[in-house]
Amino acid sequence: MSEPPPALRENLFGTLARLEERIAEARLDRGEVLDVRGLSARTALAEGEIQALLTEGAQPPADDIEGRIRRRVRTLHETRLAASGRKRSEVCKEVADALSISPEWARQLLLGKKMPNVPDLTALAAFFGVEQGTGFFTDPAPVVLDRELRRLLEELGGDGDGPLVRFATRHGVVTLALRGRQLTPRKQEALAVMLEGLLSGGEDTER
């Protein structure tokens, strides 16, 4: 069992501090931006683990690499299963076909009861479409959460102003609900343009 190195948590707190600044500057709803349930769904970290990581001074539970991998495979599977509304047996069969293993062995992997080997873990990352590849399952929790917070920071404009933040500031929008949606800068720009058009149309109608 091992605890995350202090340097990893320092990097995480640095990112969190910058994100907190952006939230305050743009008058966003902190609870929606840093929604623990949404963060858990996107990172496959347990909600309690995320809460501990977001609290300075609190220590997330120590883990080992094997337990970490099995737990994240299970969490990712359960999250995707709940979101899709599909039957577990259907997903197990698809995973079995993708990994060329039996449906029962696939079920054991997805439930976190068995440890996937490197080829199977690589195939699972591809099956679930995680951008980080096997690192999604193997990276220490502070690295995983820091990566997600950096993505959020980028969506909010980083050290500058993102399209949606500029739009919100220009029109006096007090809160901007992200609700866990992952929008690229290009999608943010498209959404801001669309909203600008709707507001402009409304102003012309009122005249």
SS (H, E, C) the chain: CECCCHHHHHHHHHHHHHHHHHHHHCCCCHHHHCCHHHHHHHHCCCHHHHHHHHCCCCCCCCECHHHHHHHHHHHHHHHHHHHHCCCHHHHHHHHHHHHCCCHHHHHHHHCCCCCCCHHHHHHHHHHHCCCCCCHHHHCCHHHHHHHHHHHHHHHCCCCCCCHHHHHHHHCCCCCCCCCCCCCCHHHHHHHHHHHHHHHHHHHHHHC
Per the CB < 8 A criterion, the answer to whether 191 and 57 are in contact is no
Residue 60 has a pLDDT of 67
Residue 207 has a pLDDT of 44
Per the CB < 8 A criterion, the answer to whether 19 and 156 are in contact is yes
Tokens found for residue 63: 């883990």
pLDDT tens-digit map of 41-65: 899 998 888 998 888 656 666 778 9
Q: Give the chain's residues under pLDDT 70.
A: 1-6, 56-61, 158-189, 200-207
The matching CATH number, chosen from 3.80.10, 1.20.1070, 2.50.20, 1.10.260, for 65-138 is 1.10.260
Domain boundaries, the chain: 6-61+140-206, 65-138
Residue 198 has a pLDDT of 74
Per the CB < 8 A criterion, the answer to whether 173 and 192 are in contact is no
The answer to whether the pTM exceeds 0.85 is no
Q: Within 13 Å and on the Cβ side, how many CA atoms surround 21?
A: 13
Cα-based angle 99, 105, 109 (whole degrees, multiple of 5): 80
Residue 58 has a pLDDT of 64
CA distance 5 to 9: 7
Residue 63 has a pLDDT of 77
CA distance 147 to 133: 13
